[in-house]
Structure 1
Amino acid sequence: KTLIPYDFEAYKARNLIERCFNKLKHFRRIATRYDRRALYFLSFVQLACAMLWMR
């Protein structure tokens, strides 16, 4: 086996962001993109992030 060099800190941050997106996709409104306007979609994403943060 040959080890592929990678930046551990960057990978750690990437993993954290991917897990956050996975948690956001549990909100059906975000996963299916019900809102037609980008402003409404962004506002619900911010609301969902606040809900996840307060858990």
Structure 2
Amino acid sequence: MPPKANRLAQRTYDENLYADTNKVARFFNRVKHYRRLAARYEKTARNFLAFWQLACSVILTL
């Protein structure tokens, strides 16, 4: 996270890493729109993983 502009001792941060964390946060926000994943309706781990893969592939193709 970048430091505040009015901070006396500015600390360093990696801009690329910060941008990547933003991408990951936005991705999980999109996944939350799939209620089936958020509520975990699937009983078996296999079906839950399959729906995760389906949702991720749909999101990445948009």
Q: Give the TM-score taking structure 2 as reference length.
A: 0.75
Question: Partner residue of 1:18?
Answer: 25
Q: Find the structure with the greater CA-based Rg.
A: 2
Q: Which runs of 4+ in 1 moved over 6 A?
A: none
Higher helix share: 1
Q: How many Å separate the matches in 2 of 1:6 and 1:38? A: 38
Picking from 40, 47, 50, the partner of 2:54 is 47
Aligned length: 55
Percent identity, aligned pairs only, is 40
The alignment yields a C-alpha RMSD, in angstroms, of 1.3
